[in-house]
């Protein structure tokens, strides 16, 4: 994966998170932080995050894929590997 594709995929992830958990916590979120823990996402928030990722990326995300969305870096790699960017 190219650095440009990786950065674009991480941007998609951050944009999706911004719709669910906007604010200063998101600004301080490192690419390797657990998004659910740091942003205090409950299961419905996380589901909305996943639904937005699907809508903007066109990538199918099954429940079995959720562990691959744990961090911004992981989610970006998942999207890039699936051809989202």
Could you report the per-residue pLDDT of 20-53, keeping only the tens digit for each?
988 888 888 999 999 999 999 999 999 999 999 9
Residue 35's nearest CA partner among 64, 72, 78, 76 is 72
Give per-residue pLDDT as tens, 47-77: 999 999 999 999 999 999 999 999 999 999 9
3-81 CATH choice from 3.90.950.20, 1.10.1200.10, 3.40.50.9100, 1.20.58.220: 1.10.1200.10
40: left (phi over 0), alpha (psi -120 to 50) or beta: left
pTM over 0.95: no
pLDDT at 85: 73
Q: Which sequence spans correspond to the domains of the chain?
A: 3-81
Which token pair is 46?
């996380």
What's the pLDDT score for residue 1? 55
13 pLDDT exceeds 80? Answer: yes
């Amino acid at each position: 994966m190219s650095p440009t594709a990786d950065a674009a995929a991480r941007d998609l992830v951050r944009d999706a998170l911004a719709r669910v958990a906007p604010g200063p916590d998101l600004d301080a979120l490192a690419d390797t932080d657990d998004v659910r823990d740091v942003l205090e996402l409950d299961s419905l928030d996380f589901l909305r995050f996943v639904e937005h990722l699907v809508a903007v990326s066109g990538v199918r995300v099954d429940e079995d894929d959720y562990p691959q969305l744990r961090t911004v870096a992981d989610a970006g790699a998942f999207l890039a590997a699936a051809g989202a960017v």
